[in-house]
């Protein structure tokens, strides 16, 4: 069983300032929710580099530290964003960007492998 982790990412915006995230989040509550999910048998964590422009991945990385082998990670690539402003800039599916995106996800998640990497569709 798995859970989606978009909601713990926090705010993100379109170039015009339109919100596309879940607004402000409390990291302690989000971490507690992830801990509870893992305790209840959830093993798949689905996230994206775009959820809070990487914040969801960073929080997941903190929670799974020391128990990476007990979870399955799924993340996504495709969207380009500015993490400083949490703004979506567009998309890129070039091999070079996919590689950079995955390297960023690996770093934020604190792991050296990801089980699933999915193209995040274009709207």
Q: How far is CA 89 from the centre of its chain?
A: 17
Check if 51 is active-site: yes
Give the C-alpha separation, 72 to 96, whole Å. Answer: 25
Helix or strand holding residue 118 (H, E): strand 116-119
Size of the chain, expressed as the number of residues it contains: 123
- Active-site option among 6, 51, 77, 79: 51
Q: What is the DSSP string of 47-96?
A: --TTGGGGHHHHHHHHHHTT-GGG-EEEEEE-EEEETTTTEEEEE---HH
Active-site positions read: 51
């Amino acid at each position: 069983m798995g859970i989606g982790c978009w909601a713990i990412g926090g705010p993100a915006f379109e170039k015009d300032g339109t919100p596309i995230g879940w607004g402000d989040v409390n990291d302690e509550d989000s971490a507690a929710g992830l801990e509870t999910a893992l305790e209840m048998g959830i093993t798949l964590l689905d996230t994206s580099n775009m959820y809070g422009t990487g914040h969801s991945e960073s929080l997941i990385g903190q929670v799974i530290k020391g128990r990476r082998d007990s979870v399955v990670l799924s993340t996504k690539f495709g969207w380009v964003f500015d993490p400083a402003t949490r703004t979506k800039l567009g998309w890129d599916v070039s091999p070079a960007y996919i590689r950079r995106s995955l390297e960023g996800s690996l770093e934020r998640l604190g792991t050296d492998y990801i089980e699933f990497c999915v193209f995040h569709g274009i709207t």
